[in-house]
Amino acid sequence: MPVAYVEKVGKQAVDAVSVFGDFCVFVGRTFLWLFISGLRPKNLRLLLPQMYEVGVRSVPVIAITGAFIGMVLAIESHATFKTLGQEERMGAIINISVVKQIGPVLAAVMLAGRIGGALTAELGTMNVTEQLDALRVMGSDPIRYLVVPRFLACVLLLPILTIYSDLLGVLGGWLVSTRFLGVPSGPYWFYSQYGVDNWQIFEGIIKAAFFGAAIGLISCYKGFNCGSGASGVGRACTESFVASFIAIIIINFFSAQVAKDFYVAIYGLRSIIG
Amino acid sequence: MSLIELKNIHKRFGRLVVLDGVNLSIPAGQSLVVIGASGSGKSVMLKHIVGLLKPDAGEVHFEDQRIDALSERKLAKVRLKFGFLFQMGALFDSMTVADNVGFPLVEHSTKTPTEIVEIARQKLAMVGLPDVGKKMPGELSGGQKKRVALARAIALNPSVILYDEPTTGLDPIRSDVINELILKLQRELHVTSVTVTHDMQSAFKIADRIVMLHEGKLRFDGTPDDVRQATDPVVRRFVRGEADEAELATLNQT
């Protein structure tokens, strides 16, 4: 059945392109509403509840994630550094990893699960119970009313949550290194300070804003386009997390490349354990 | 003169043809009821009137303006003249009842919060629920939800109210309350009503005119008395609630 197979593959390709195009239109309309009315006082009042939902309620999960990342990195890197007799310098590696890569990425993945799932489920339920249609019938654009505040909350708060996660990760790594593995505190901080500069912290925070944008847009899009019934909402939540996770990994790759080129252009090459 | 006009509307979802050349004119002030079997495209037609769905072919006109080709932003202004009662109410479950009813005013009027609370109270009183403003939609019964949704639909004093299955899922007494409410709004607000239903008791009570959708086309158009005396077997069977032999034959398939 080669014709049927070709037809099936062709249909899947057309569907994929169609979904991507639909997503691009959705993103375009979100930015249009953001610039037209996103910062009007009437719309800013919609932002505060979302900031509470996205920010305040994510603090516990981010605190736990950040702290354990730092603690695990300390345990894993200690043996290698001890073999080289360089335990005092392990703070540099732990803290670079925390603020630049593992911290922001794992925080974003955790938040894709927590926030993304909640946003998709909420909007998906509104979709299947015709609440989105009710908004449109009452002359209110659901993208302006629902998506823009959620998108803004994700973009603004993911960097702040990442800073919090970084802080807990740094403290977790320090706690395990100095209190349980016997690394002296003074040199630990000295080499951490030497190895981690503002640019690396900044890089992690900037890419967190892009992770937030991806999580907000994908989660809302999936909620707006979920299938009917409870199974449709459930499937949309799963797809939302998977798509957000893939977006985070891809954004992380490109941001690492861009940031590295930028860093080398400005500071040149520099060793972290000098 | 027609307030709403559907011209040769065609709509399909995938391979399923739902509307196949529907033509319908609705004059101002009329109470039109659209009947038809489940899945016959009644709700789809209703959503075309307010621009929630766009036709694959054909035109939708409102107040002599073609609205099916308008952008969402322009359509939003036209929609303020419509009230829409959704089948399950579609109340915002994160808001109180009063906030639901006041929502269109918050979005589209310059009234103060105090004035909006007062208008919401008046609209809730109009549907016979003056004391539920502080409740959440989840605390209401099915009939109460529909009445609150109706209060929200009339918040901006629309000139047209569209009802999607207003009595579905309600017991006969609650259904009659909704029917009386539709008649009351018709009397007091002088609105044009379009009601989609397969509840014939409701249709006979509220309609000035009844049309029947069957296999994507308008099969019947007349007064309630014309429906009672219809000779078309499809219309007669629907009005009497009798399945035909082909439908009954599916029960005997093993």
Full pLDDT tens readout for chain A, 274 residues: 678 888 888 888 888 899 899 999 999 999 998 988 877 777 788 899 999 988 898 999 999 999 999 999 999 898 888 888 888 888 888 998 888 888 889 989 999 999 989 999 999 999 999 999 999 999 899 999 999 999 999 999 999 999 999 999 999 999 999 999 988 888 889 888 887 888 888 888 999 999 999 999 999 999 999 888 889 999 999 999 999 999 999 999 999 888 888 878 877 766 554 4
Q: Using a CB-CB distance cutoff of 8 angstroms, which residues of chain A are in contact with residue B110?
A: none
Contact (CB, 8 A) for B225 and B50: no
Note the maximum CA span of chain B: 65
ipTM confidence: 0.88
Alpha-carbon gap, residue B167 to B197, rounded angstroms: 8
Tell me which residues of chain B, numbers 60 to 119, contact chain A at a CB-CB cutoff of 8 Å.
72-73, 76-77, 79-80, 82, 84, 86-88, 90-93, 103-104, 107-108
> For residue A153, which of A216, A205, A100 has the smallest C-alpha distance?
A216
Residues with pLDDT less than 70, chain B: 253-254
Contact (CB, 8 A) for B106 and A139: no
Strand order in the sheet with B65-66: B16-27, B2-13, B57-62, B65-66
pLDDT value, residue A271: 54
DSSP 3-state assignment of B8?
strand
**pTM check: above 0.95:** no
Task: Determine the residue of chain A that is closest to B76 in CA distance.
Answer: A139
pLDDT value, residue A267: 73
Question: Do A138 and B107 count as a contact with CB atoms less than 8 A apart?
Answer: yes
pLDDT value, residue A273: 47
Alpha-carbon gap, residue B216 to B213, rounded angstroms: 6
Residue partners of A215: CB distance under 8 A and separation at least 6: A108, A111, A112, A115, A116, A154, A158, A244, A247, A248
Question: Do A134 and B92 count as a contact with CB atoms less than 8 A apart?
Answer: yes
Question: Do A138 and B104 count as a contact with CB atoms less than 8 A apart?
Answer: yes
Question: Do B50 and A139 count as a contact with CB atoms less than 8 A apart?
Answer: no
Question: Do B90 and A133 count as a contact with CB atoms less than 8 A apart?
Answer: yes
Question: Do A141 and B73 count as a contact with CB atoms less than 8 A apart?
Answer: yes
Tell me which residues of chain A, numbers 241 to 270, contact chain B at a CB-CB cutoff of 8 Å.
none
pLDDT value, residue A274: 45
Q: Of the candidates B52, B91, B108, which has its C-beta nearest A139's C-beta?
A: B108
Alpha-carbon gap, residue A190 to B94, rounded angstroms: 51
Question: Do A130 and B90 count as a contact with CB atoms less than 8 A apart?
Answer: yes
